[in-house]
Structure 1
């Protein structure tokens, strides 16, 4: 195979990789939207992102949430107000800065988030349930390598 054919073959492989990554990202987004609707169909999916972040990393200020999720601070404030009204998030004075407020997930928010994430997990595991262990291990290793880990 000459160099030109190799480059054309490589370009085709990279194109196919891009298509599969786009499919993965699209499917991930669709699954997130579906999971957020299980959490609360009356809220925007971005509200569920806030709850998941608070569950994963603990209490936080709205500013830290916005920075961590690369979201506009006004959008975070609006979503937090909706989450508080629904009883999923509560706020209390920041013990380190009494002028600030710390947000955390309520028991109701935690219970509903766990329910939603369990449904998401079930759909994820359905996709890999027919894979043998060696295929799953190879996939994990390739993802690690792709992610630079």
Structure 2
């Protein structure tokens, strides 16, 4: 909105409606994340799956970097990593760039279990966009990128 634009009642209603839809998206995404976490391993907390998803997406990292990237405290990350390691989903290895450092990474079991767990989430979202044509999907993606501050 330009600095000279006047906020109208219609604009306020549109902004409220947008807020409701963003909340609905976040809520639906959270519910799907919880179901995916349960599908991954019902004995673990959903927060453990959050760490697994990060490792799956971005690769090996230190516990400190993982804590920072996921906005979790180090003690929680440490406890969850210990559980994931005991379950065979995560392994630790010496950092080749810093011999004192330890890198966390997914094991083959961790990667395969992550892929299996994410299938449900993907199918739910793909089902929602399946009736859109390419132009609608492109427009939606562009607008989301703009909304997320990734594009002007």
Normalised by the length of structure 2, the TM-score is 0.89
CA distance in 2 between counterparts of 1:119 and 1:25 reads 17
- 1:29 counterpart = 2:52: no
Matches within 5 A, 1:1-149: 7-148=8-149, 149=151
Deviation per residue, 1:26-83 (Å, 9 max, x gap): 1111111111111111111111111111122211110010011111100000100110
Instruction: Tell me the SS of whatever aligns to 1:52.
Output: helix
**Residues 96, 133 of structure 1: CA spacing in aligned structure 2 closer, same or farther, 3 A cutoff?**
closer
Normalised by the length of structure 1, the TM-score is 0.91
CA distance in 2 between counterparts of 1:16 and 1:37 reads 32
- Compute the displacement of 1:98 (Å): 3.0
CA distance in 2 between counterparts of 1:144 and 1:58 reads 23
Instruction: Tell me the SS of whatever aligns to 2:117.
Output: helix
Unaligned runs of 5+ in 1: none
- Compute the displacement of 1:120 (Å): 1.4
- Compute the displacement of 1:124 (Å): 1.0
Q: Which has the higher helix share?
A: 1
Instruction: Tell me the SS of whatever aligns to 1:49.
Output: helix
Instruction: Tell me the SS of whatever aligns to 2:8.
Output: helix
Instruction: Tell me the SS of whatever aligns to 2:103.
Output: strand
CA distance in 2 between counterparts of 1:145 and 1:109 reads 33
Instruction: Tell me the SS of whatever aligns to 2:44.
Output: coil
CA distance in 1 between counterparts of 2:91 and 2:117 reads 20
Between Structure 1 and Structure 2, how many residues are aligned?
146
Instruction: Tell me the SS of whatever aligns to 2:42.
Output: coil
CA distance in 1 between counterparts of 2:135 and 2:98 reads 51
